[in-house]
Each structure stands twice: as C-alpha cells, then as structure tokens.
C-alpha cells in the first residue's frame, strides 16, 4: 500500500504554486511542511500523499518520475488536466480512454516544471 511519494524539485516555491493549483480539483491541499523546513506535503485531511522537497547540490531534483493520482470520475480528470495546463504544465496525453490499459481506464497526463510525468486516472 502506498503511503506517500516525495520528490525533490528545483524550485520549491514555483513547484508549491503548481501543485496547489493542479491538485485542488482532486480535493488535495497542503497538509504539512513549511518553506523553512524545505518541503510541502499535499493530501486530504491529515495524510500527505505527495511531498515536494527543495533539491540541493547533493540531492538534485528528480527527473522522469511518474506519479498517478486516482480520481472519482472523468469530470475530475478533465478538471485536473485543465488546472494543470493553466498552472504551467505541458500536455503529455489529453484526458481520454486508454484501452491498452483496460476498457474503462480513463486518464490524462502532463509534464510538470521539472519534467515529471503526472497522471490522474479513473477506471
């Protein structure tokens, strides 16, 4: 069972702004962390699912990580995708059915500012 994912990012403030905007349609907000501590945790309630931490010289930003969040329905996938593009993400697969995964798998994909692949899906 997955508890949380932590990724190091090149610019904590910009990544915080991006994830605040893009995760809002999924009902996720900042649930822990601070600028002083050098990280932020996003989740629902008290549980963080995604943490972003400031990269350092000895701990560089991660690249090409794939993060997938589960949505309640297709409308949530579309709302997330739209918010992500507005927040500065690049399209990496518009929301739609992915029959290669299953007959009902519906997902959208974006690349965020550090090049990580973020997906939201429902099936």
Q: How far apart are the first and last CA of the chain?
A: 18
- For 5-122, CATH gives 3.10.180.10
> What pLDDT, on the 0 to 100 scale, is given for residue 32?
94
> What pLDDT, on the 0 to 100 scale, is given for residue 60?
92
> What pLDDT, on the 0 to 100 scale, is given for residue 2?
63
pLDDT in tens, the chain (123 residues): 467 899 999 999 999 999 999 999 999 999 999 999 999 999 999 889 999 999 999 999 887 889 999 999 999 999 999 999 999 999 999 999 999 989 999 999 999 988 999 999 999
Longest C-alpha distance within the chain, in Å? 46
The candidate with the shortest Cα–Cα distance to 5, out of 46, 44, 49, 41, is: 49
Question: What are the domain boundaries of the chain?
Answer: 5-122
> What pLDDT, on the 0 to 100 scale, is given for residue 46?
87
């Amino acid at each position: 069972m997955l508890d949380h994912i932590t990724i190091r990012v090149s610019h904590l403030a910009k990544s915080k702004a991006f994830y605040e905007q893009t995760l809002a349609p999924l009902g996720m907000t900042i649930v822990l962390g601070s600028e002083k501590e050098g990280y932020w945790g996003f989740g629902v309630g008290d549980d963080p699912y995604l943490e972003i931490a400031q990269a350092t010289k000895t701990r560089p930003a991660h690249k090409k990580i794939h993060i997938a969040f589960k949505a309640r329905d297709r409308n949530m996938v579309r709302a997330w995708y739209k918010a992500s593009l507005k927040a500065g993400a690049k399209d990496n697969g518009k929301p739609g059915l992915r029959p290669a995964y299953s007959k009902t798998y519906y997902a959208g994909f974006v690349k965020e500012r550090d090049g990580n692949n973020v997906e939201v899906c429902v099936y």
